[in-house]
Every structure is written in C-alpha cells, then in structure tokens.
Amino acid sequence: MNRYLYDGTPEGLLSAAARIFSEERDPETVSLDERKDTLFEEGVFIGTDPASAETFFNRLRLEAPDAAYTLYYFTLAEKDGMETALLHYLAQALLHGDRVNGNLTHPAIRDIVAVSRKAQRELHRMKGLVRFEKLRDGAYLARMEPDHNILQPLAGHFSRRLRAEDWFIYDVRRRIAARWHQGKLQFGSIEQFVAPALSDEEKEVQALWQTFFRTIAIPDRKNPRLQKSNMPMKYWKYLTEKQGE
C-alpha cells in the first residue's frame, strides 16, 4: 500500500487526488494523510498545484455533480484524518458518476456522505436559527458559533432573502464575517470584534418576539425534551427567545 502526504489545504488535497488517480492503478489501496513533519512520517509528499486542483474539481463537477456537492459540504465540516476515505470516495465517484452516493454499504462512501450530510443539516438549521439584531445605523447583525464552517452558503441564502437590508453575519469562533451591503456580498476576517450599539427600538421588538414565543406554546403539551432534541442547547446562546434561560 503506497502512502502519500499533502499540505493540509483543500487545494492540496485535490492536487494530490489528481496525481494519485493519474499514477496509481487502484487508488483504493492508497492512503493519504496531512504532512505533520514528524520524525517517523512515511510517504511521498505531493505539493499543491492550483491548476491541477481546479481541473480535477471541474472534471468531478462534470462527471458526478452530486459528488462535487458532497465534497463541498464535506470541506465545510473541517474534518481532519479522513483524507484516505475521501480519496477512496472520489475514486468511486469517478468510477460510478452521480450514482455514487447510493452505494452506502461502501465504508468510505458512507463516512464521507455522513459527514457531508451533517454539514448540510447544520446549514439548514442555521437558516432558521440565526438571529439578526438591528444596529443604530440601521444595518442588521447576527452572531453565531456553528460547528461547521457554513458562513459562505448561509450568507448566500440571506443574500437572496434579505436583499433590501444591509447586514452582517459573524462567526464568532472562526472570527470570519459576511457582509451584505448595497446588493454586494463580501467575506472577511475580523480580528477585534466590538459589539456595536443596538437601535433604539431593538429591545422592544425582541420583547414582542419573546412574548410570542412564550404564548404560542400549549401549556398542556409542555415537552422540554422534544424542544431540546429539535433545537439543541448549544444554539441557545444567540437565540433572542432563549436569552436569560
């Protein structure tokens, strides 16, 4: 079994995949890991080649769009240590095309699809759970701490939905933000976050929402377990309706 190493970047991974597929007869017997530069590390290092990474990704998009979609969400999961599984998944994708995700009894396919789905699920969840607050200058700000790096597709969702407003979405843990301003979407990192002042009516609107949240529940059907399983407590920190609980 041949061992390969790469630099840990997504482009590096695709470059490595491109080269392994062109050189190895059976890529599913090959392993790929991130180079850690430890003393006992073994394997052939493959450097990043942006051009071949792009060619490879375009080929994947053409031959197996579903797999390209799966790969995109897989990278949002920022999972380390699954490179070999991903390599085997990509080999299967090029072999079977768009049907690949149906082969769920294949261990690599199952693992990659599972991780990718988890990222998609959190993205969907955050489309509902993100809360904007109105700032003094009229723009809206949302803060969040998702497990997956979903800022980009999430901001894309809101750029189609809240077109008439100016807004920011800030990923507190990753210190990155998206900004929608005058119809343009930008991404950037934020080194020092200073919470801006809220608009005067913000607390009133929040109180209205909190009231609604309380009264819409049917007291005879109280079910905190169900509530928590649908809306895990890790998301409550930034939920307007769960402040002070």
Partner 1 sequence: METLDKLQILSGAARYDASCASSGSRREGPSCGTGNTSQGGICHSWSDDGRCISLLKILLSNDCIYDCAYCVNRATNPVPRASFSAREVVELTMEFYRRNYIEGLFLSSAVMQSPDHTMERMVSVVELLRTEERFGGYIHLKIIPGSSSALVQKAGLYADRISVNIELPSQESLNRLAPQKHKQAILEPMSLIGRQIQESLLERKSSRNAPRFAPAGQSTQMIVGASPESDLQILRLSEGLYRKMHLKRVYYSAFVPVNEDNRLPVLASPPLLREHRLYQADWLLRFYGFSAAEILSDDAPNLDETFDPKTSWALRHPEFFPVEINRADYGTLLRVPGIGVTSARRIVAARRFSVITPEGLKKIGVVMKRAKYFITCSGRPFEKTDRQPALLKSRLLLAGGSAPEPPRQLALPGLFA
Question: What are the residues binding partner 1 (CB under 8 A)?
Answer: 96, 99, 101-106, 110, 124, 127-134, 140, 142, 158, 160-165, 205, 207-209, 211-227, 229-231, 239-241
What is the spatial distance between Cα 127 and Cα 244, in angstroms, rounded to a whole number? 23
Q: How many residues does the chain have?
A: 245
Nearer to partner 1 among residue 81 and residue 224 (C-beta): 224
Q: Pick between residue 110 and residue 179 the one whose CB is nearest to partner 1.
A: 110
SS3 at position 59? helix
208 CB-side CA count, 13 A:
5
The residue among 59 and 127 lying less far from partner 1, judged by its C-beta, is 127
Residues 238 and 144 sit within 8 Å (Cβ to Cβ): yes
* Strand arrangement, sheet containing 31-34: 31-34, 3-6, 44-45
Min dist CB 105 to partner 1, Å, is 3
Q: Which residue number, 48 or 69, has a Cβ lying nearer to partner 1?
A: 69
Q: How far is the CB of 222 from partner 1 (least distance, A)?
A: 6
Cβ pair 119, 77 in contact under 8 A: yes
The 3-state DSSP class for residue 72 equals helix
Three-point CA angle 185, 188, 194, nearest 5°: 110
CB closer to partner 1 out of 152 and 206 = 206
Side-chain-side CA neighbours of residue 99 (13 Å)? 3
Nearer to partner 1 by Cβ, of 45 and 213: the residue is 213
Strand partners, 45: 5
In the complex, the smallest distance separating the C-beta of residue 135 from partner 1, rounded to whole angstroms, is: 12
Residues 6 or more apart whose CB falls under 8 angstroms from that of 201 comprise 134
In this complex, which beta carbon is closest to partner 1, that of residue 105 or of residue 189?
A: 105
Using CB atoms within 10 A of its CB, is residue 110 exposed (0-12), middle (13-18) or buried (19+)? middle
Encoding tokens for residue 96?
Answer: 């079977």
